[in-house]
Amino acid sequence: MRPPPFRTNVRRVVIIVPSLFTLFNLFFGIWSMVLASKGTPADFYRASWFIVFAGVLDSLDGRLARLSNTGTRFGAELDSLVDVVSFGVAPAFLMYELAFASMGAGAWVFCYFYVMGAAIRLARFNLTQAGRAKTAFVGLPSPAAGMTLATYFPFTTTALYQARLAHLPWPLLLSLLMILLTILMVSNVRYAAVPRAGFRTVRGVLGLLFILSILFFGIWQHDEFFFPLGVAYMAYGVLRAALLGLFATPDEDEEAEIAGPIVLGDSDRRADAYGEPRRGHFSQGGGEGGGSR
């Protein structure tokens, strides 16, 4: 028995909504580049936070799709393509305009390698982790890398930076930062995902407290808070791997997926542009910021 046309149309709208969040993610990524191209401090500041807004939308699209059970292969692929722009190209362009344009004709290569790392990281993620429930990511998530770069400029406007850190060789440090972010995105270093919040378990309560703490300090001292947080998260994975001897290789199923072809089932071939939900396989916003990548 076929569902009534009204119910079918409502479900189609619900399926589209997560992709609208993804497209607004892209909107802020493009807008960030437009502002960065103007080259004024005020525009750099706004461009930086627009990349952060893109990261917030990237986390919301996946959660919305999972709550409504409307994940699609189309949504997962769209999310990764958008993330290459918002967390690969946009932060690299912002950093080029901020620091690398004045460092010589070949300095843009740092930006190229960063974008390359983000693209490889997202392609690998689609094969190994997309659509699966996970407590850790293999490699530094691209939204975390992009937002770390993006929040550097707001951090330079703070009293802490001006009083204690402005004298450091930042051109060299930024070059090293981009190299490290590139390597970590394509590495096998494992990074913890955002913990699940809830009231039923101690872990859920701790996760809720952690998220509320991030929100509190992020709103109260956003310029001073986010760039050190990004650097600390980046360092956390390296230190954890070093202490545990855990420069881990991919799991056997991940290696098989990297080596083998992508096999589409009948449901994939029949899916239209809206995509029939594939429960248990893919989730919209299966991207890294959506808590599922």
Between CA 66 and CA 275 the distance in angstroms is 15
pTM: 0.77
Rounded to the nearest 5 percent, the helix, strand and coil shares of the chain are 70, 0, 30
Q: What is the pLDDT along the chain (293 residues), one digit of tens a residue?
A: 555 554 444 445 445 666 788 899 999 999 999 999 998 999 999 999 999 999 988 887 666 666 655 556 777 788 889 999 999 999 999 999 998 988 877 888 999 999 999 999 998 888 876 655 567 788 899 999 999 999 999 999 999 999 889 899 998 999 999 999 999 999 988 888 776 766 777 766 776 787 788 788 878 888 999 999 999 999 998 998 888 774 545 444 443 333 333 344 444 444 444 444 444 334 444 556 654 44
**Is the distance from CB of 146 to CB of 182 less than 8 angstroms?**
no
CA angle 170, 174, 178 (to 5 degrees): 175
The 3-state DSSP class for residue 230 equals helix
Q: Which pLDDT value is given to residue 15? A: 57
Which residues are paired to 83 by β-bridges? none
DSSP sequence for 152-212: HHHHHTSHHIIIIITTS-HHHHHHHHHHHHHHHHTS--EEEPPPPP-SSSHHHHHHHHHHH
pLDDT at position 63 is 67
Domain ranges within the chain, ordered by starting residue:
5-290
Residues 47 and 75: their CA atoms lie apart, in Å, by 26
Specify burial of residue 286 (Cβ count, 10 A radius: 0-12, 13-18, 19+): buried
Closest CA to 229 of 238, 243, 242, 218: 218
